């Protein structure tokens, strides 16, 4: 890990005073978020509380207005999205964004092909092998020659996940509402994939979701956002008894 | 690299298979063939940019003009050899193309089309207004490549150019760069967060397609022998768009089929004059509504239907897919 002044040891991801404004609206407001390497963290909050904006800031799609983002001791908030990806950050989108005219397998290969542009070539066999294994894991291997735009909503989410896991090396996976509107079997597949990649490869996850029951099975800790701010953080029990959280969800 | 060697072999075969045409065709028909091949190069370049990468530039014809004028002016004023002039034209076009690509990096569809169109018009006006250098609408006499305006020797050059363009485009499309291009076209944000340097590759394709156009334009200038700003008008761009869409946008053979088809049709209907453009527009609407993959798509569908009727063929095609 490269040491930089003020870079704390131990955190995989740390945001300090992270702020994003849209006109007069402060979508993310001085957010301090810290993730330990290897944890699975939930990120919850009412609609419009700034969860997606946070994911967009960390993945580099939005430029921060104020604050800093540190990944493994390196400041990343001024980097272009592909450079952040190169440092081991993958993500999915709330509404799946696939390469619709490419096949399922080609979709999964894009991160590996992109890596060829910046580093030494990995053997093609390894890359293909990993893509096939991940597609198998998310139950899409049979469909690998199908065009991606023909997939259902749930399958699209699965492919986004497999594709994200092709980012190499992968340290942090940001998932924006992976369980929204997907069939229960697909939900199980997603949970299994998250747990397995976390256990086997030590991937850290930040999972935005409204599904408390599902999150409870995945995460020990959740962070709660409201109107762009972090209003609570802790175990499910702590969160459930937190007055600010209850108020945020019930409306003031 | 066995695949490249095999492809070079195919190009040699194709060259040999088509080289005899000027002996059976009249001089006029040979001229139509030369022009078709010129448009093949232009259309392939634009398909890389618009079809594969999703950057609907309306300045592609301008780069043919950049190639033609750069070369002719250098040959006339600096007395450089003709091929050096054409190479310089390609270099200048690559630079301008890279710059235009940079300007358009953050623009989406319609804005990119408008910006490139404005750029094309500006450059055309510049060529028209700077008549002391370019002779504007009077026309600039470009020296002939073969000291003759007769089409036959040029046919051999343009056949080589077209095959080279096909080969280079095929190599790009099949490489990792081709995957970046298609990813960018389908979803630029997703491509970026999957690690693709979208800015770099969008600029790259802009520059490459400009080189295609400039090389074709450079040779064309030294074939027709007289340059004017007229081919830098929007009409010329419209023809390229028509060719690619009728042939099949986003298909590899689309621009090749479309360029030859439209150029030949255009010559056959010469008596119709400007009305041809209306016909082409209708053709584009028809294709865009019913057959988005153009003539190539129609051909492939017919091929599949035919294959389904002939069991041996069907077995061959399904075997290849499995
Ligand atoms: N690109 C944008 N331009 C303008 N306003 C935006 C933009 N993106 C988000 N916002 C606004 O910022 C606020 C936070 O939005 P965000 O999408 O981050 O919320 P969220 O927590 O993901 O909500 P949801 O649960 O509905 O997905 C909202 O008020 C939203 O309207
Ligand atoms: Mg959201």
Say how many Å lie between the first and final Cα of chain A, rounded. 44
| Residue with CA closest to ligand 1 atom 18 | A50
* A-chain residue closest to B196, CA distance: A114
pLDDT tens column, A47-106: 999 999 999 999 999 999 999 999 999 999 999 999 999 999 999 999 999 999 999 999
Q: Give residue A246's pLDDT band: very low, low, confident or very high (50, 70, 90).
A: confident
Q: SS3 letters for B298-311?
A: HHHHHHHHHHHHCH
The whole-number pLDDT of residue A64 equals 96
Mutation site for A-interface testing, chosen from B190, B199, B250 by largest number of A Cβ within 10 Å: B190
Radius of gyration of chain A, Cα coordinates, nearest whole angstrom = 18
Decide whether any atom of ligand 1 lies within 6 Å of the A45 Cβ: yes
Q: Which atom of ligand 1 is nearest to the CA of A54?
A: 18
Instruction: Give the total residue count for chain B.
Output: 322
State the smallest CA–CA distance between residue B183 and chain A in angstroms: 6
What local confidence, expressed as pLDDT, does residue B318 receive? 54
Chain A residue numbers with beta carbons less than 8 Å from the beta carbon of B193 are: 59-61, 81-82, 84-85, 90-91
| Residue closest to A61 by CA, chosen among A37, A87, A93, A88 | A93
**Contact at CB, B194 and A93, closer than 8 angstroms:** no
Alpha helices in chain B (DSSP H): 2-18, 21-24, 27-46, 60-73, 82-103, 109-129, 131-134, 152-174, 176-186, 188-193, 198-224, 234-247, 254-268, 275-290, 294-309, 311-321
Name the pLDDT band for A250 (thresholds 50, 70, 90). Answer: low
pLDDT attached to residue A245: 75
Q: How far apart are CA A204 and CA A38, in angstroms?
A: 5
Q: Which residues on chain A are in Cβ contact (under 8 Å) with B194?
A: 85, 90, 110-111, 114, 163-164, 166-167
Per-residue pLDDT of chain B (322 residues; tens, 9 = 90+): 689 999 998 998 988 898 888 888 898 999 999 999 999 999 999 999 999 999 999 999 999 999 999 999 999 999 999 999 999 999 999 999 999 989 888 888 899 999 999 998 888 888 888 888 888 777 888 888 898 888 989 999 999 999 999 999 999 999 999 999 999 999 999 999 999 999 999 999 999 999 999 999 999 999 998 898 888 889 899 999 999 999 998 899 999 999 999 999 998 888 888 888 899 999 999 998 888 899 999 999 998 888 888 766 656 555 444 3
Q: Strand pairing of A40-44 and A221-226?
A: parallel
Q: Residue with the nearest Cα to atom 19 of ligand 1? A: A48
pTM of the model: 0.90
Q: Is the CB of A48 under 6 A from ligand 1?
A: yes
pLDDT reported for residue A61: 96
Q: What is the pLDDT of residue B312?
A: 65
- Predicted local distance difference test score (pLDDT) of residue B316: 58
Give the residue on B whose Cα is nearest the Cα of A95. Answer: B190
| Ligand 1 proximity of A56 Cβ (cutoff 6 Å) | no
State in Å: Cα A180 to ligand 1 middle.
16
To the nearest whole number, what is the mean pLDDT of chain A?
A: 91
Q: For residue A190, which of A235, A145, A129, A140 has the smallest C-alpha distance?
A: A140
Residue A239 has pLDDT above 90, yes or no: no
CA distance A33 to A183: 31
Name the helix (H) or strand (E) containing A91: strand A89-91
In chain A, which residue's Cα lies nearest the Cα of B251? A101
Ligand nearest to the CA of A20: 1
Give the tokens for residue B257: 């089929």
Q: What is the pLDDT of residue A4?
A: 47
Phi then psi for B133, rounded to 5 degrees? -95, -50
Do residue A98 and residue B187 have CB atoms under 8 angstroms apart? yes
Q: Do A114 and B185 touch (CB under 8 A)?
A: no
The three-class DSSP label of residue A20 is strand
Residue A164: per-residue pLDDT: 96
Q: What is the pLDDT of residues A110-148, one digit of tens each?
A: 999 999 888 787 888 899 999 999 999 999 999 999 999
Q: Which of A82, A84, A102 is closest, CB to CB, to B196?
A: A82
Residue A98: CA atoms inside 13 Å, Cβ hemisphere, count?
A: 29
Q: What is the largest CA-CA distance in chain B?
A: 68
In contact, A204 and A12? CB cutoff 8 Å: yes
The shortest CB-CB distance from A61 to any of B179, B193, B196 is to B193
ipTM of the complex: 0.91
Which of the residues A108, A114, A163 would you substitute to probe the B interface, choosing the one with the greatest number of B C-beta atoms within 10 Å? A114
Measure CB to CB from residue A85 to each of B176, B185, B193 and give the nearest one: B193
Q: Strand A11-22's sheet: what is its strand order?
A: A25-36, A11-22, A66-71, A74-75
Rounded to the nearest angstrom, the distance between the alpha carbon of A199 and the centre of ligand 2 is 27
Min Cα–Cα distance to chain A from B190, Å: 6
């Amino acid at each position: 890990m490269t040491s930089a002044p003020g870079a704390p040891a131990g955190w995989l991801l740390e945001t300090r005073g992270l702020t994003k404004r849209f006109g007069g609206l402060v979508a993310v407001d001085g957010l301090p978020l810290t993730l330990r390497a290897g944890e699975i963290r939930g990120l919850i909050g009412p609609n419009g509380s700034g969860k997606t904006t946070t994911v967009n800031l960390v993945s580099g799609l939005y430029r921060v207005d104020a604050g800093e983002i540190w990944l493994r001791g390196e400041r990343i908030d001024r980097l272009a999205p592909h450079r952040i990806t190169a440092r081991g950050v993958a993500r999915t989108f709330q509404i799946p964004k696939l390469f619709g005219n490419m096949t399922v397998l080609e979709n999964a290969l894009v991160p590996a092909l992109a890596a060829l542009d910046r580093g030494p070539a990995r053997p093609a066999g390894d890359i293909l092998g990993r893509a096939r294994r991940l597609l198998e894991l998310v139950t899409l291997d049979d469909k690998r020659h199908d065009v991606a735009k023909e997939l259902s909503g749930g399958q699209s989410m699965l492919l986004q996940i497999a594709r994200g896991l092709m980012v190499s090396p992968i340290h942090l996976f940001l998932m924006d509402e992976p369980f929204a509107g997907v069939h229960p079997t697909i939900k199980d597949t997603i949970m299994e994939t998250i747990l397995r990649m976390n256990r086997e490869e030590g991937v850290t996850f930040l999972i935005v979701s409204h599904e408390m029951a599902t999150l409870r099975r995945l995460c020990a800790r959740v962070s709660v956002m409201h109107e762009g701010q972090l209003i609570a953080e802790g175990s499910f029990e702590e969160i459930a008894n937190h007055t600010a959280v209850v108020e945020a969800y019930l409306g003031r | 690299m066995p695949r490249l060697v095999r492809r070079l072999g195919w190009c040699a075969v194709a060259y040999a298979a088509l080289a005899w045409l000027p002996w059976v065709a009249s001089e006029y028909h040979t001229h139509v063939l030369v022009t078709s091949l010129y448009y093949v190069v232009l259309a392939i370049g634009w398909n890389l940019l618009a079809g594969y990468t999703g950057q609907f530039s309306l300045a592609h014809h301008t780069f043919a003009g950049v190639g033609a004028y750069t070369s002719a002016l250098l040959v006339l004023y600096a007395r450089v050899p003709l091929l050096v002039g054409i190479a310089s034209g390609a270099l200048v076009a690559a630079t301008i193309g890279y710059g235009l690509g940079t300007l358009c990096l953050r623009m989406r569809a319609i804005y990119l089309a408008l910006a490139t169109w404005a750029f094309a018009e500006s450059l055309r006006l510049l060529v028209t207004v700077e008549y002391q250098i370019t002779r504007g609408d009077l026309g600039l006499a470009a020296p002939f490549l073969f000291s003759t305006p007769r089409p036959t020797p040029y046919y051999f050059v343009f056949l080589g150019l077209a095959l080279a363009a096909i080969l280079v485009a095929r190599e790009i499309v099949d490489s990792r760069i081709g995957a970046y291009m298609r990813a960018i076209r389908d979803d630029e944000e997703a491509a970026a967060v999957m690690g693709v340097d979208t800015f770099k590759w969008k600029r790259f394709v802009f520059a490459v397609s400009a080189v295609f156009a400039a090389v074709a334009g450079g040779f064309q200038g030294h074939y027709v022998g007289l340059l004017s700003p007229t081919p830098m008008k929007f009409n010329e761009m419209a023809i390229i768009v028509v060719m690619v869409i009728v042939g099949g946008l986003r298909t590899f053979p689309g621009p090749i089929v479309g360029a030859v088809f439209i150029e030949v049709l255009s010559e056959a209907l010469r008596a119709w004059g400007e009305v041809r453009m209306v016909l082409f527009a209708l053709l584009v609407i028809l294709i865009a509504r019913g057959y988005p993959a153009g003539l190539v798509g129609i051909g492939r569908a017919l091929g599949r239907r035919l294959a389904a009727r002939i069991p041996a063929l069907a077995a061959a095609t399904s075997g290849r897919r499995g």
